[in-house]
Structure 1
Amino acid sequence: MQQQDQQDAARTGIYVSPMAQRRADFFDACGPLFARLDLADSPDTAASLLAAAPTDLLVIDLERFEPGIDLDALGGLLARRAGAPALLLCPFANARWLPLLQAAGPAAYAITPIEPARLQAVVRRALAAGGRAPVAGVDALRALLALRARVQSALDAPDDEQNLAERLCQALLAWPGVLHAAMFRLRPDGDLQLEAEQGKGAAAGLRLATVLQRGERLLQAPLRHAFPGLLAAATGELVLLDTLAQAGEPALADSLRAHGVVQALGMPVPADGPGQPRGALSLLLDHDAPLAPEAFDALRDCAAMAALGLRLLDMNIESEQLLARLTYVSTTDALTAVANRRHGEELLEREVKRARRYRTPLALLSFDIDRFKAINDTYGHPVGDVALRTVADCVRALLRSSDVLVRSGGEEFHVIAPHTSAIDGLKMAEKIRHAVEQAAIPGCDHVTVSLGVAQLGEQESADSLVQRVEAAMARAKRAGRNCVELAMQ
């Protein structure tokens, strides 16, 4: 003990914080560990103190510092410390400071808030170890390489977002020390949901929906400020609890400890651009050993790969939607939303082949709106368009699911009716004629149609069938319109 006191009496330190109260608290807690402890309110003041005399430990308390404002100054302070050991005191809700500053120079760290007795122990260890940063050994580096490879493999052809999340959790769970892995995803409505989770060992039965008191709308969960995975998704910051009590929620800490959890980490899954993250990865670990800079890098890479996987899924969905839209546009009549002529010809060819192969009847109906030119001339083309849409809707409502309505051109339509004989086709045509006659057409009262019906002949082609049915429709028009004619063989 006397030897320790002699060592403390010879040590000097610099503590940096912009908050006067924290400077006073640190001096009360750790001042006795140093022969001289200088307190600095800014990186510039600390740099002046370092230039004036060497120090045994530089302590940077990151509370109230902002990465977007203070990173260059604090990084420069670490770079200019002339070999002096450093200790970073990092708020648990803003742990992205750690990889940012460790890139400027090696530094040990502790997560805050931290009790005075534990702070003393952390400072003693930093003095004894020379403020060295956590270092990943060969085995740890191999484990990190394997982690990256497993996460990369999880991106191979996932079926959907849940499948991707499950595969990512499985990959993360294989990292030594991880008891539980989960992925939170931002939903289109702007809230957060638990997409997948997996546990092992003591955490095999851990269910975050129970721990967090809900499984959906998690941005409104009572523990959104305390559980690292939720906080990371809400703020976009790396969140790290190296003691579970730091979050200020004893019930949460007790629940996690009951499953063997000692340390908890939340890594945001970045968005494609500025804005709220796409979600977060949650890791619950069975040890409180400090994470090496290489571990932070690997976890950041895993989150970036998760974002890439989600983006690829989005691109696949967008491609499928675009393909569906292109297919719809290329096969559908824009005015009436029925099959267009080109698509109708393809469908008729297909049905002709099917009818011939299975020796089933196939009927084709053709109808034309009577005196349609007069409607356009009298009431205008907008009313004519309404008449076309109304007739198409009226006819479509009468058809079976296997029947296809085709706009073959202008005011002329075809109906492809599989498994339908000429007699049944006549009955269908009469229903159509009657329904159209009774339908009210906004702007022009009523319209009628003339129809032709034909049944596919044994060796007949689709072109021949179309010619016969259109000839029958022409006879119906010559017969006085608003009637049905059967095509001649």
Structure 2
Amino acid sequence: MSQQDGAPDHASGLYVGGLYVSGLYVNPAGQRRAAFKEACAGLFGQLRVADSAQQAAAYLAREPAGLLVLDLERFELGLDLAALGELVAARGGAPVFVLCPFTNARWLPSLMAFGPIDYAIGPLDAPALRAVLAERLARGFARPAEPTPCETGLHALLALRTASQRALEESDDSLRFAERLCEALAGWPGVVHAAMFHLRDGDLHLEAEQGATRLQLAPLLLRGDKLLHSPLRHAFPGLLAAASGEFTLLDALDKAGEPELAASLRGHGVEMVVGLPIPAQGPGAPRGSLCLLFGQARMFSQAELDAFGDLARLAAFGLRMAEMARENEALVGRVTHLATTDALTHVANRRHGEALLEQEIKRARRYRLPLALIGFDIDRFSNINDTYGHPVGDIALRTVADTAKALLRSSDVLVRSGGEEFLVIAPHTSAIDGLKMAEKLRAAIGQAEIPGCDHLTVSLGVAQLGESESGDSLAVRVNAALARAKRAGRNCVELAMQ
């Protein structure tokens, strides 16, 4: 009797539940596809192989398969998850068997998010693979029983906690973290709107809100910021929890004693509101609150009430992480400033100046633009220190730097390269333009008022970057030109020779 006649032909494959099993195996490596066919083809009435999720989807569109086998070896989680997940989701609960390498078991929860799967951990040699698959086929890959209401509630609670914890990925930004957390809370069954209130700058602000309706809390609360002064702070659980630090549960809107607020909330499908205070780090006022608006009043289980506390503590942790991120960013900025800036004159120090010069040289070469370097130092500066004292010398250095900065363009960089020595990195500047700039600097500094001493002068050297010249070579030519200016009597400008 043939297969078409309806009689089981065990020689051609395993017979399960009155049907021959057809299979589709997916793996990008041809050698693995061939090895699977050799080991397991006898378990199927029909076995097809595909090298990608796209090819597998095309096969399934033409002809369904009783069992989908996903061999994850050689697939990349970051690149292939979405496509393989779509295959799992499209099965609608039909059997999916996953061969997962032990070195990357992160595949399993990621794929389970798309639908039910059965799996085995690899590597498996051919006999072991055949035995495992035969055992699964013999069991028939029975569809799991429908979950009980209790199981459904627990699954929803676990999903809420997982989604909320993922919001911590954005904890370096308090606003983005609040948005992600509210998005997760609004996905909890029964919640039609979720919001976070954050106590910062001395008052309470609506940090973020998410929901399926067009509800916006700011108009209902009669203000968008400084919410501790809202006339509804005694009635709306989100504000009350942030102000008092107590868990607030309004299971009937009329109990708050604000008929207009109750009517507005009902108009957006809200029947119950929960306020969860976000605890502070130690004693003191809360950091704010989480506010959950439900479409209908309900009783909460102990697990759900415990989850409220977990969510509030998670929100506190995320906000603290955001604060630490801002503090670290400010600290890094301060350290960077200290490491790159001269403490006396507040211009770039020598090390930072050398790095900036190399950057400008690369940019000039790439775009074929001129670049000039101007070096100058204060004439007879040691006499100022000896005659008037070092405090006056410090004033002179600051005055010279301030005078030079006032003349330079925003693209120019002033560097203190030594005691009384300075450099000007001038992008988009030729030698002739550099000479003009140097002459303006010489004249302006010569006229500058120096408290506590007479006027001072500077000598300057100018050089334009050569076609294949290094920064060191450019600096050497500038110093040579500066030395010629000194020998020429000081208070003058010299152009460097090529």
**If the length of structure 2 is used for normalisation, what is the TM-score?**
0.68
Alignment partner, residue 110 of structure 1: none
State yes or no: 1:220 paired with 2:233: no
> Which letter does structure 1 place at the counterpart of 2:307?
A
Q: 1:318: how far off?
A: 2.3
Q: What residue number does 2:418 align with?
A: 409
CA-CA distance at 1:408 after TM superposition: 0.4
Deviation at 1:461, TM superposition (A): 2.2
Give SS of 1:400's match. Answer: coil
Structure with larger RCO (C-alpha < 8 A, sep 6+): 1
Residue of structure 1 in register with 2:352 after alignment = 343
Partner SS for 2:169: coil
Matched, 1:138 2:151: yes
Q: What are the superposed Cα offsets for residues 410-457 of structure 1, whole Å, 9 maximum, x if unpaired?
A: 000001112211111100000101111121122224221111111122
Partner residue, 1:366: 375
Between the aligned partners of 1:351 and 1:283, the Cα distance in structure 2 is: 55
1:231: Cα distance to partner?
0.9
Please give the alpha-carbon distance, in whole angstroms, between the structure 2 residues aligned to 1:443 and 1:455. Answer: 37
Percent identity between matched residues is 69
1:428 corresponds in structure 2 to 437
Question: Residue 365 of structure 2: SS of its match in structure 1?
Answer: helix
Quote how far apart the aligned CAs of 1:158 are: 5.3
Which residue is equivalent to 1:27?
Answer: none
Of the three residues 195, 198, 218, the one matched with 1:182 is 195
SS of the residue aligned with 1:457? coil
Give the partner amino acid of 2:151: V
Question: Once the two structures are superposed, what CA deviation does each residue of 1:102-154 show, in whole Å capped at 9, x if it has no partner?
Answer: xxxxxxxxxxxxxxxxxxxxxxxxxxxxxxxxxx9332222211111111122
Give how far 1:239 is off: 1.0
Paired residue for 2:210, among 178, 190, 198? 198
* Partner in structure 2 of residue 462 of structure 1: 471
Deviation for aligned residue 1:393: 1.2
Find the aligned partners of 1:298 and 1:321 in 2 and give their Cα distance. 34
1:254 positional shift:
2.1
In the TM superposition, residue 364 of structure 1 has moved relative to its aligned partner by 0.9
- Give the match for residue 183 of structure 2: 170
Equivalenced residues, count: 350
For 1:349 and 1:418, the matched residues in 2 are separated by 12
- State the superposition RMSD in angstroms: 1.7
For 1:282, the equivalent position in structure 2 comes to 291
Q: Which residue of 2 aligns with 1:87?
A: none
Task: Identify if the C-alpha distance between structure 1 residues 238 and 412 changes in structure 2 by more than 3 Å, giving closer, same or farther.
Answer: same
Unpaired runs of 5+ residues, structure 2, are 1-148
SS in 1 for 2:210: strand
Do the aligned partners of 2:463 and 2:496 also contact (CA within 8 Å) in 1?
A: yes
Deviation, structure 1 residue 400: 1.5
Contact 2:197 2:208 in 1 (8 A): yes
User: Which residue, out of 319, 323, 331, partners 2:328?
Assistant: 319
Residue in 1 that maps onto 2:5: none
So what's the TM-score if we normalise by structure 1?
Answer: 0.69
CA distance in 2 between partners of 1:478 and 1:440 (Å): 26
Task: Indicate the residue corresponding to 2:165 in structure 1.
Answer: 152
1:159 deviates by 6.4
| Secondary structure at the counterpart of residue 409 of structure 1 | coil
Give 1:250 deviation, angstroms. 2.1
Runs of 4+ in 1 over 4 A off after TM superposition: none
Tell me the residue number matched to 2:409.
Answer: 400
Identify if the C-alpha distance between structure 1 residues 230 and 422 changes in structure 2 by more than 3 Å, giving closer, same or farther.
same
**Corresponding residue SS for 2:407:** coil
- SS where residue 397 of structure 1 aligns? helix
The answer on whether the counterparts of 2:170 and 2:176 sit within 8 Å (CA) in structure 1 is no
1:14-56 CA deviation, whole Å, 9 max, x = no partner?
xxxxxxxxxxxxxxxxxxxxxxxxxxxxxxxxxxxxxxxxxxx
Offset at 1:466?
1.1
Deviations along 1:211-230, one digit per CA (max 9) or x if unpaired, are: 11111110111111111101
Residue deviations 1:157-214, cap 9 Å, x none? 3562222111111111111111211111112x210111111222xxx12211111111
More divergent stretch after superposition (264-273 vs 408-417): 264-273
Please show how residues 34-49 of structure 1 align to structure 2 within 5 Å: none
Match of 2:398 in 1: 389
TM-fit CA distance, 1:245? 2.1
* Structure 1 position 256, deviation (Å): 1.6
CA distance in 2, matches of 1:392, 1:475: 23
Q: Cα deviations across residues 366-386 of structure 1 (Å, max 9, x unaligned)?
A: 110112112112222122111
Q: Residues 262 and 388 (structure 1 numbering): CA distance in 2 closer, same or farther, change over 3 Å? A: same
Within 5 Å, which residues of 2 pair with 1:238-249? 238-249=247-258
Cα distance in 2 for partners of 1:451, 1:219 equals 62
What amino acid sits opposite 1:173 in the alignment? A
Q: Of 480, 485, 488, which residue of structure 1 is paired with 2:489?
A: 480
Q: What is the Cα deviation at residue 336 of structure 1?
A: 0.9
How do 1:2-151 residues align onto structure 2 when only pairs under 5 Å count?
137-151=150-164
Q: Which residue of 2 aligns with 1:230?
A: 239
Deviates most, 297-306 or 341-350: 341-350
Q: What CA distance in whole angstroms lies between the structure 2 residues aligned with 1:320 and 1:366?
A: 34
- Greater shift, 350-359 or 238-247, is seen at 350-359
